[in-house]
């Protein structure tokens, strides 16, 4: 007897079910996006359990505000990661009382989905510390777009939607930040 493959529902289809109070659909969305959400929380400076707490609070907020999601305004992923990011930032502001957050350790923010060679290269050459130190010298708005792009694996369009910025602004911040990073890392 042949095995029938069922089509996987899109995030937007699952979210329509979530808006109808379907907890199973919500669990599937959670499973699909929890790894990326953890990366987003870590880009704000959270480590370990604090990042996980921010993600849990973010997903609780997604459940509570599920009726406000509008697919015509953007993808579920962009909407959800914006909520996660805001929860993580709010949590960090509360914890640090105005101090600039420390960037997470390089090993904490290199995604598991990164190629083994990239992660091995960063670790082998000892550039994780240099990269983190160089990132801390950049303005916060440049660090934010760079970490969302490289560690959060978001496109310019997704970053623009998440931060409510024009795509050109995101690209400009990225270009300036990467240019400064390149200069700092080659001088080191």
- Whether residues 173 and 119 share a domain: the answer is yes
Does residue 139 share a domain with residue 78?
Answer: no
Res 109: pLDDT: 40
Strand, coil or helix: what is 76? helix
What's the average model confidence in pLDDT over 137-162?
79
Residue 1 lies in a domain: no
Same domain (yes/no): 127, 182:
yes
The CA distance from 183 to 119, in Å, is 22
Q: Total domain count for the chain? A: 2
Q: What is the mean pLDDT of the chain?
A: 76
Measured from the Cβ of residue 112, the count of other Cβ atoms closer than 10 Å reads 8
Residues 167, 94 share a domain: no
Q: Are residues 19 and 97 in the same domain?
A: yes
Is 31 a residue whose pLDDT tops 90? yes
Residues 12 and 98 in one domain: yes
> What pLDDT band is residue 99 in, cutting at 50, 70 and 90?
very low
pLDDT value for 1: 57
Q: What is the chain's Cα-based Rg?
A: 18
- Provide, rounded to the nearest whole percent, the portion of the chain with pLDDT above 70: 71
């Amino acid at each position: 007897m042949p095995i029938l493959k069922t089509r996987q529902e899109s995030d937007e289809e699952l979210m329509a079910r979530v808006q109808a109070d379907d907890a199973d659909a919500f669990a599937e969305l959670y499973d699909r996006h929890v790894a990326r959400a953890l990366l987003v929380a870590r880009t704000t400076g959270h480590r370990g359990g604090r990042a996980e707490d921010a993600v849990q609070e973010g997903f609780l907020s997604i459940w509570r505000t599920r009726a406000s999601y509008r697919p015509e305004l953007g993808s579920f992923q962009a909407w959800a990661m914006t909520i996660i990011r805001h929860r993580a930032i709010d949590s960090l502001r509360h914890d640090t009382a105005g101090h600039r957050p420390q960037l997470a350790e390089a090993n904490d923010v290199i995604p598991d989905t990164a190629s083994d060679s990239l992660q091995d290269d960063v670790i082998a050459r000892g550039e994780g510390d240099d990269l983190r130190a160089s990132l801390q010298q950049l303005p916060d708005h440049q660090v934010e777009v760079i970490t969302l792009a490289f560690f959060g694996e978001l496109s310019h369009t997704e970053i623009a939607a998440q931060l409510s910025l024009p795509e050109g602004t995101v690209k400009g911040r990225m270009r300036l930040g990467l240019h400064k990073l390149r200069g700092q890392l080659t001088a080191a």
